[in-house]
Amino acid sequence: MTYVQGFVAAVPAANKDVYRKHAKDFVPLFNEFGATRVVEAWGDDVPDGKLTDFRGAVKAQGDEVVVFSWIEYPSKAVADAANDRMMSDPRMRELGANMPFDGQRMIYGGFASLADQGDGGGMGYVDGMVVPVPGGNKDAYRELAAHHGAMLLEHGATRVVDAWGEDVPDGKVTDFRRAVQAAGDETIVYSWVEWPSREARDAGWQKVMADPRMRREMPFDGKRLIHGGFKPILDA
């Protein structure tokens, strides 16, 4: 099963091109260390929330834009080995010396694929979501993810991934648990939906929300789910 390292960061809007180049420079190293895919997606439709939202998750300021990104590995073992190599590789230290954003406010974690539906391909837009789920509701969430994923594919999505938190560290300034006000035994779920375009995404969600099969009890507190729409700026 795919293992995912998920990230959310706040990047000054003026640094978009610099950020894209910076991310692209890392790709050969990630591939060398065993990654199968690296995606960076630039905030496009990221709403404010009443309790939680992506901007609050990374304490975005002024003209900063939220970036939703992930790295896919064939397994957690490969991801862990890659992390060990990164920590000792001088090329990584050199590339990381001049980050075009505040790395202290970036949130990150490792997630095991819970449901991975669709073949993907030709991604022109992505919906990103983060939600806290009680540990005892893992199976119920998996069943819901499979149900909703099938609907999303039916209405135009090309891939739907839900991944269960396995290595989600606490941070000094920001982290995934604080981002969604996770409490007690709640586990972080990191998920995304791939679409051919923004237009397909908007039309698809209209159909999904009108579909009576959507009306099911949620095994989590939907008020604390954070979500947004993002335009891919790197898919390698």
Q: What is the span of the domain harbouring residue 104?
A: 3-235
Q: How far apart are CA 14 and CA 62, in angstroms?
A: 12
The whole-number pLDDT of residue 98 equals 87
The whole-number pLDDT of residue 57 equals 98
Q: Which residues of the chain have pLDDT under 70?
A: 1
Q: How far apart are CA 47 and CA 68, in angstroms?
A: 14
Q: How far apart are CA 38 and CA 32, in angstroms?
A: 12
Domain with residue 135: its CATH number is 3.30.70.100
The whole-number pLDDT of residue 97 equals 85
CB atoms within 10 A of CB 25: 12
The whole-number pLDDT of residue 95 equals 82
Q: For residue range 108-147, what is the model confidence (pLDDT) as tens digits?
A: 999 999 999 999 888 999 999 999 999 999 999 999 999 9
What are the b/e assignments for 161-196, b being 16+ CB within 10 Å?
A: bbbbbeebeebeebbbbbbbebeeebbbbbbbbbbb
Cα 231 from chain centre: 13
The whole-number pLDDT of residue 96 equals 82
Total domain count, the chain: 1
pTM for this structure? 0.96
Cβ proximity of 64 and 12 under 8 Å: yes
What are the b/e assignments for 118-133, b being 16+ CB within 10 Å?
A: beeeebbbbbbbbbbb
Q: For residue 99, what are its two tokens?
A: 């980050």
Q: For residue 205, what are its two tokens?
A: 């969600």
